[in-house]
Amino acid sequence: MKGGKLIIFSAPSGSGKTTIVRHLLQQEELNLAFSISATSRPRRGKEKNKEHYYFMSLSEFKNHIKNDDFLEWEEVYRDNFYGTLKSEVERLWAEGKNVIFDIDVVGGLRIKKKFPEQTLAVFVKPPSVDELKIRLKKRSTESEDKINMRIAKASVELATAPQFDSIIKNYDLDTALKEAHDLVAEFIK
Ligand code: 5GP
């Protein structure tokens, strides 16, 4: 596999990375396209298949693992698998795009390791774990149990921040958006 640039945004759930990624996708001059991940988790709220994720059953997901179809995959939460299909990145590269990822820290670092020169790996840091809890509760798309699972994972994820190329502190959204834009613009130059 070879092609354009890979831009990774990783962070604990609720850090605001999805908002940042969406904002960057609207900036035409960055020529970005979103890597749609595959997942075995159920659809949430207004999510659409082939837009937010390629939703699939656990057995379908495991078949893709067996066939070596993934660039990286992860059991992010128990029985909830997420992964980047090689075919997805190839599809976007064929369109001449730089590919942007909203993926977990382990997956992000794995892609960075596979394509060290082509990849910019950015970690988005939330103000605090307490603030994360508030944001996840406000989102109210998950049960209390699931929220607690995400919070427990956040501390482990925060410890990986130094392994990324850059860290954006998402304390103030406008500042974070600008920082993210400048980092990406510089990297794809
Ligand atoms: P959510 O269920 O909130 O959509 O995502 C849960 C976590 O899985 C988030 O941290 C998200 O970034 C991550 N994730 C989404 N797609 C992928 C993927 O393709 N690979 C990996 N490793 N993580 C992913």
pLDDT in tens, 89-131: 999 999 999 999 999 999 999 999 999 999 999 999 998 888 8
Instruction: Report pLDDT digits (tens) over 152-182.
Output: 888 899 999 999 999 999 999 999 999 999 9
Atom of ligand 1 nearest to the CA of 106: 22
pLDDT at 35 over 90: yes
In order of 66, 69, 89, 96, 137, the CA distances from 1 in angstroms are 19, 12, 9, 14, 40
CA of 134 to the centre of ligand 1 (A): 20
pTM greater than the 0.95 cutoff: no
Residue nearest to atom 9 of ligand 1 (CA): 104
Q: In this structure, which residue's CA is closest to atom 8 in ligand 1? A: 104
Q: How far is the CA of 30 from the centre of ligand 1 (A)?
A: 23
